[in-house]
Structure 1
Amino acid sequence: MSPGPARFVRQLLLGLLAAAATIVTLQSWRDFTVRPDDLVDPALVAAAALLATGTALRLLPLPAVVVAALQLVVAGLLVVVLVGGSFPSPGAAEETVDRIRAALEVAQVQPPPVPLDGGGIRALLVVGAVLFLWIADTVAATFRTGPALGLPLLAAFSLPVTILRTGAPWWVFAVAALLYVAVLALHEADDLGRWGRRVVARRPGGPDGAADTLPGPPVAGTAVAVTAVGLALVAPLAVPVLDLGLLDRAGLRGGAGSAVVLRDPAADLQGDLTRGDDVELLAITTDDPGAAPPSYLRIGGLNEFDVDEQQWRPGGGDERALDEARLQLPEGARNGDPRVTWNIRATDAFSSSWLPTPTNLTDIYADSGWRYRPAGDDFTRDDGRTTAGQSWETTEVLPSFTRQDLDAAGQDYPARLAPFLEAPGVDPRIAELAASIVAGATTPADQAAELQAFFRDRDEFRYDLQVSSSSDDSLTEFLFDTRAGYCQHFASAMAVMARELGIPARVAVGFLTPELIAPGRWELSAHDLHAWPELYFPGIGWVRYEPTPGQRASATPGYSAPDPSGPGATSGTDRPTPTSRPTTNAPTSGPTSAPPSSTAPADGDQGAADGRGGADGFRPAVVLSVVGATVGVLGLLVLLLAPRRIRERQRRRRRALGVEGAWDELRATLIDHRVPWPPHRSPADTARTLVEDWETERAERAEAGTPAGIDGTALAPLERLVTRLELARYAPPAAGPGADADEAWSDAQAVADARTAGRGGARRARWLPASVVVDSRERRRTGDAGLGPDGHATTAPAVDGGSDEEELARR
């Protein structure tokens, strides 16, 4: 059975509070994923859609079980839209199931935080959010069992405690608890009112100036609720507890353990390269089916050369918290350059305090313990945690430039790059060797290309992981004696020589191109660890070079060929080979066009095309538009149907009240047609005022002459109705209303028809009945459900215009 107006409003408020409490509670899931903020929009969309459809369904005369079942269907459609990213259809449903199944597999093998998209758990979290929102709306608003709302909220809170062994932030618990208390207060308003004293207020204008008792806030009850929430927050601090958990996160990191440990990128690199066994370290996925392999993933940047230790080190400089390191568009990148989003997961075998990321980042989502180091464009931490078992997500822009752009960059280096030109204490012969190699080169780009070609000459150098140094100056020994080494030797030597030539340089440590496992999925292992130099060009930024011979790195970037017209040079077009996407089979010989799906729009549209979700992922603009339009249509239907439905229910209830109901219905009908109804009057005085207003209106509407009075046949039903109402109030028949009720309703209908004839506004009165608002406002003002809609009690009305006996005498 459909609810009355007061119950309907209460159900709506219960639904709003329950949805708000659930959304706040879902914030306790933030540690499950590297991008928790991206779950807020789907949760808000689902909450709005479920509340709107639930409100519309609860207006209909349907059993609560049917409403809950229909709401479950709506929840299923929401899952298809939010997870499948398209309109509900058999194909979309199948895609949704596949994504949920994939998310379950990811959740079983990856410890949190896990990426959302591209092999992440977004589908699982969205399904959970929709399910909890449906339960909350059904429990609190449909079945109106407010106290039971605590069970789903407790279940949602328990998930991170059980799996992550971390509780929700205090503010999440506090806000959710207060919203839950508000649900209880609304649901049990009468019982809560007994917790404390009621507020007594005098309403001016009441009969005889009597004081009216208005229901005030449950003062003591509110104090109890706030105190309970405060104790729930403070008490655990003083209670000793055992450090137990159902699932130990440390247990998830068994297996290989720390097969590859990386604390100092330079010092640990050789040991990891020569350890013998190949070990899987990173898994990389993307939703962009046309993305090139994510080659040259950076672990750290080394910007200081220690001549005593003959080693490159991470230099000093400021560090920033991860949430302060949302990166700007990299220097040299253009708004139209393609972007791609990578989801990266480290295995338990890779324990690094440095976070591997692609070059030229525009965004990153990872554990908040990581800190950004601008000097090396890298991310590190010193709190004891490592990459082992972690997942993170990055968005990379692929800047495009030509060899001509490098030649035209010049040497106007910013002052902040002065430390990148220092090479104190190195053997003077290194500067002489560098000058002889680049003799004839006219630009820093030409010089860099000549240096790279020098090291890659197999007649001059060979790649050897087993080489060892017999002197304290390994760099000089490498350049002038052994001419053999591994990637770190080649990268270090080229960076030092570039500095000696006046070109800012540093060394980067990371990975080569990964192995393709499946479309959109790659794998990096210990044998892919690598080092290379990066040189700076004004207006373009840091540019990668590859001096390590082809036995290790078979390709060089297209812009780095010694002769611009040679086989490896770019063609000079506007879209040459991206700096971070060289192939590994042959030198790049021309521009590489990015797939359309990864092309980025202008800055203002970056979020829509930064690769998140890909072609098959969650499209916020599309989904929000579809769901927003649906919610808007449903909301409009509710606004159109609610007043009429409420008015019809009022009419049915009044029918059961006999003569009193007929009188109230006459009042409501006249108010709906905008006919004034005098408040706080006796029935006779009300009838007299109605007749006077009627005569005045007829006079104003007369076109000419003296208007005729009201036809007596129209006044007779009003007189009979007033007489029956007075007799029913002061001399009610013992047998009940009987036939008088039917006759009273006939008279009330006749008066209403006669009074509203010719006034117009019948459609407005039907769809926008003003009496619904007036009655609701009157009930709030009086604060007493026992009063009738005109402010009189149904048994002994208060009279402002004289007693009914006096009115009868006057009549």
Structure 2
Amino acid sequence: MPVGPGTPGIGGGTMTEAHPGNAGPASRRSAAVRAALPASGLAAAATIASATALTSVIAGLSWLVPIAVAVLLVAGTGSAARLLGLPAVVVGPCQLIVLLLGVTAMFAEHGIAVAVPGPAALDELHTLLLTAGEEIRTGTPPIGASGPIVLLTTLAVGVVAVLVDTLAVPAKAPAAAGLALLCIYAIPASLSNQMLPWWSFVLGATAFAALITVHGSHRRWQTFHRHRSAREAVAAAAPVPVTLMSLAVVLGLVSGVTVTSIGTVGQLPSGSDEQGGVSSGMGITPFTSLRGMLNHDEEREMFRVRGLEDDRQLMRAFTLDTYRPDEGWSLADRDSLPAGLPATEPLPVPGGASRSPDTEITIQPVGWEDVWLPVYGEPSSIDGIDDRWHYDTMSGTVFSEHRERPPTYSITTSLRDARPAELRAAEPDPGAPASVYTEVDDVDPRVAELAEEVTAGEESTFDQAAALWRYFTEDGRFTYDTSTAPPSEEAANDALADFVLFGRTGFCEQFASSMAVMLRAIDIPARVAVGFTSGEKQGEHRSITSRDAHAWVEVYFGEQHGWMPFDPTPLDDGRSTTPLYLEGQRDSSGREDDAAAQGPQERDGNTDDQAAAPPEDSTTAGNRVDAGSLPTGAPPTWSQWLAGVSLALATALGCAAVLAARSTSRLRRRPDGVRPGARYLSLAAPWLPVGAAACGVLGLAMLSWQLSGWLAWLVAVLAGGAVAPWLLREIGRRRRLHTLLSRRADAADAAWQELIAECADRRIPIGIADTVRDAALRMGEGGRLGADGQQQLHAVVTCLERSWYGPAGETSGDLAAAYERLRASLASAAPVDMAGRLFPRSVVGF
């Protein structure tokens, strides 16, 4: 018999009326979404406002446009998903998917139908992110708003927008969203040499305070709306939050000015900068790539050099001693920089008594900021620097422990060119140089054979090196270009062999890397030097710009002569430097270097920019960008595929879990029992969420690995810990529901235990000592059950008592249907918020 208002209920009590006020589920959902729109909009506004703090580390403002687009996509997707009635746990992944589609459309050129990220687009985005990491590592804030930097920033802020929207709307915890927004402020505060802009702090604080205000007003309105009109409720609720918001902004600004500072002085990890907060310097990356493209950042002056006159010399910043197969040349793995000698004292030089007259050169850094101090030749002394600079005799470099902008300095150095006869007679001393300069591993046998073939018949180290130099610079065998040729099928897995044997097109990094490897393959000590060509003469000084960055080879000729440069890059723009000892080493035909003449005709003055950090005033010329050199330590390609497969499986299993839950729910409503096959579906249902969660965590970890190995571990631990409570709850729920669907003898107990867990999730207090009927009264009151809910609760309790006290194994066939209708009534009258779903109180206990 239906139970109406005032009908005697369980335990002698009275069943309560249906909870007032409620239209159908669709109307309630639409009203809830409309009520959440202000919070969603303010969450997006707070995220964009907080992102303006990055103006202290990224030049310009154009990069804010794609960030704003990404944040609005996230907010719009969240509102649309909630309007469609998607489960709260699905909304976040939907926002991340749309964010990826938007990023693909804005930054990738090979997206399927523009926005769908296929393998080519994912590889392109991966390359851009790695390039962004290198630009961050080598640049100095504010760095240019290059495409890779804008991509990385857009992705990071987009993910923060998803987190803020989740906390502010479904979780109804906007205060916690402030922690995510603080992460955005923490990045420029730790990296910038300057104060964060005050207006950025005001915008972010105001938007966040408004978000808190709207949330507080909405909660107070919910409390008052049963007794007052909506306008009266908002008017009564608003003054307190608005007052608190205003006081918070004012107090924050006052304390920021009088008590502490917004921002830090100096940058990580070097601490304070005694150069007065220089924020416009550039450096170059200690790495050469075997594939890729040159960055085309705007040209910027780096040095002004006096004392060279018309002498065209290469300026060395540092040298690279380690070849990494299929990647390029880099510094050897060390825990720290070598100890070195004080650079302020007289420096040891090769040559001894035969050393030519010294030249004094004055170098004025204009846009240079790095740990390296560029020098010419073999300096004997350096003036104008302090004791923070050191000289490493093995590598021939001057360095400091921390990145800084050096003052104007003068070097005394020898610029003489040895005669070919002298170099032919020179032989490396036993045990010199260090073995690191002769080691080379995993060289393609075809490349080693080619080195032997090119140098066949040459007896001295000099003649062998000159033969290899001619091989790269003469006869048009190789072409200089700002990008390497596409990988060939014959050597797709070995970039060096591909360049030397098939592609034969590239820029200075490929030429220097290849010649150095071939020299070591025939046991000649060699290394790759990175620095600058001689630049252009302007009045009394030579101006060296970022476009003059260059890489070449240095060959060791014993203690008497030391390291001598060989530049194998066939340049044709007047920047190439050929030392006197190579001038007479052309082929017998006397033909001058015509290799470069075969190259591209349009170069726009571009040169071998050694992965220079972007200049301060560079901006993105559109959202699509070219890929730069790849850094070392890139994760294996299979990790990208594993990430894609794992996330696809997670999506598929998640959808299967949702469908299985809905199908089994419908089956439990059938009073005539279920087919045996349906029980297998119910049996598999508890493990579908497990598979989805495991694949999702693995996929996120593999994606994070593309940026950093430790980040992958951190994401795996955090994501696993975050989903563990929800996962345990789902497993327990579905196992009990399977028992109920199977109509076993303990089905009533399983249904009751699940109801107890549902009440715990909704903070409905049920004590351990409560009887079944006392617990049922608490469920009815705390869950605000209507007439139908009360009736179904009565049916469940009756079935439970009958299973306890009736004939053994007696279970009503209507138990499953009654339970399903009771759970639907409970979910409608007392829904669980997002926080309660992710961290069920029946599992975590609070």
Q: Which TM-score tier does this pair reach, normalised by the shorter chain? A: 0.3 to 0.5
Larger radius of gyration between Structure 1 and Structure 2: 1
The TM-score, its normalising length taken from structure 1, stands at 0.36
The TM-score, its normalising length taken from structure 2, stands at 0.34
